[in-house]
Amino acid sequence: MRRTKIIATLGPATDRLEVLRDVIASGADVLRLNFSHDGWDVRYRRIEEARSMAGELGRCVGLLGDLQGPKVRIASFRNGTARLDDGAEFFLDPGLGHNAGDARGVGLNITTLSEDVVEGDTLLLDDGNVELSVSKIRGRRVHCRVVHGGVVSDHKGVNKLGGGLLSAPALTGEDCEDLKLAAKAGLDWIAVSFVRDGADIEAARQLIRASGGSAHIIAKIERSEALENLDEILDAADAVMVARGDLGIETGYEGLIGLQKSIIRRARDRHRVVITATQMMESMIDRPVPTRAEVSDVSNAVMDGSDAVMLSAESAVGEYASAAVAAMASICEGAEAWMPARNESSPVTEGDFQRVDEGIAKAAMYAANHMDVRAIAALTESGATALWMSRIRADIPIFALTRHTGTQRRVTLYRGVVPVAFDVTHTRPEELFRAVFECLRDAAGLKAGDLVIVTKGAIMGVSGHTDSMTVLQLEF
């Protein structure tokens, strides 16, 4: 069973229902809506189609909304593009008209760039494809020399090497409106872009809860400032995303993989879900098979301990959306086959446990790793028990049995966890274990004589009360 989860981004390609069906059937566990594109009329339709299609296929699929955030962008050019030649002079000026850009300069979507740069700073346009060196600042106009030129089109992003370009808060006015609508739409996860610190996460969480939503929050690590405040971000967020696009631009690509490994390790040590994203299968936008370098990239993210790996344009606009999902699933399985089944020396299993349910979850995983256990059944309300179990590496499937649809969808992002609909409040205590076994018999391929670990609470149906672990042998 594949343990690493796959996030696939919805877009024009998946608007064809046969493609959406194939993407889900090929193994997508979570579907992402990129709020940088389209309006809510399109998003509502995609949400409805995704949930309907998942239901038809008998799959439980989570939905993730990804906020646009306060990205610095240039304005537009008179002709849609401009060629910047090496050595030429070029300026960035927020006072320039929206469609007045040309090879001499272009407008901006913010007015504070001149306050955030000094002479000698390096600015990168279009994901680093064009490099500028700041030569002087006159008022709000920033004059630059083109170091590495190229063709630039409208609304491309602007980054500063080393970070520190944007002093604006992570949530824009548009993001706040999107958060409210995402909460009302019942999305399971919300990704906050360009997070600086834990306060950005708390602001998003308060707005979601005030709007009646229960979505968990993903902090996208793509600013240098986020690296400086990573521990407090991990404490505040439910998950983090290694967003390698802007992060690689700000920090330099040569250190990116080291940062990826560090972020994944620190996230797992603090019981947080972690996603690796950006250009993982980029060539499959217009090719039917991945490059060997992409196979290696995805494999390394899996071996590093990512809960999930993500497809962006590959599934949103690519010609081979379902093939990209299927290829990623196959790569994940191949990488997992080379990983050790046990990993009991990490900080996750060391030190004192803070809660009873945490202790039970980790005790269950320790026992499972030292016995011939075929499956683990965690009867859970919030999914917390399953999350703690998933932090300890094991090749034993963890089934999260829960009556809550929101919990079922949320655990689709947890590594090695399979959601199962199970209403414990309608099960008589003396028949509980038999009901669990019958529920899992087909899903886990169980047979007579197999060992199964079941965790549950004495007070059934109440969140946070998992307090017992039972090892049972199937007799039927």
Q: Which domain holds residue 455?
A: 347-473
* 76, part of any domain: no
Query: Does residue 93 share a domain with residue 13?
Result: no
Residue 472 has which token pair? Answer: 């049972």
Query: Does residue 210 share a domain with residue 323?
Result: yes
* 313, part of any domain: yes
Put simply, whether the predicted model's pTM sits higher than 0.85 gets the answer yes
pLDDT score, position 125:
94
Query: Does residue 271 share a domain with residue 192?
Result: yes
Distance CA 119, CA 142 (A): 9
Distance CA 396, CA 171 (A): 40
Query: Does residue 312 share a domain with residue 206?
Result: yes
pLDDT score, position 345:
47
Query: Does residue 427 share a domain with residue 388?
Result: yes
Catalytic choice (51, 73, 266, 403): 73
- Asked about 220 being catalytic, the answer comes back as yes
pLDDT score, position 221:
96
Distance of CA 376 to the CA centre of its chain: 25
Q: State whether residue 36 is helix, strand or coil.
A: coil
How far CA 275 is from CA of 89, 241, 289, 339, 415, in Å, comes to 40, 5, 23, 18, 10
Catalytic choice (220, 223, 374, 409): 220
* 165, part of any domain: no
- Asked about 209 being catalytic, the answer comes back as no
- Most distant CA atoms of the chain, gap in Å: 81
* 180, part of any domain: yes
> In this model, does residue 164 exceed pLDDT 80?
no
Query: Does residue 195 share a domain with residue 47?
Result: yes
- Asked about 342 being catalytic, the answer comes back as no
* 42, part of any domain: yes
Indicate which CATH number applies to the domain containing 238. 3.20.20.60
Catalytic choice (4, 276, 278, 380): 278
**What total of structural domains would you count in the chain?**
3
Indicate which CATH number applies to the domain containing 90. 2.40.33.10
Could you say which of 280, 306, 336 is where a domain stops? 336
pLDDT score, position 103:
95
The answer to whether 11 and 34 have CB atoms below 8 angstroms apart is yes
Query: Does residue 353 share a domain with residue 329?
Result: no
| Of residues 353 and 366, more confidently modeled | 366
Could you say which of 139, 160, 181 is where a domain stops? 160
Query: Does residue 40 share a domain with residue 104?
Result: no
Query: Does residue 301 share a domain with residue 278?
Result: yes
* 75, part of any domain: no
pLDDT score, position 431:
85
pLDDT score, position 370:
87
Cα 245–311–59 angle (5° rounding)?
150
Catalytic choice (2, 3, 5, 32): 32
Could you say which of 305, 336, 367 is where a domain stops? 336
* 341, part of any domain: no
Q: How confident is the model at residue 279 (pLDDT cuts 50, 70, 90)?
A: very high
- Asked about 141 being catalytic, the answer comes back as no
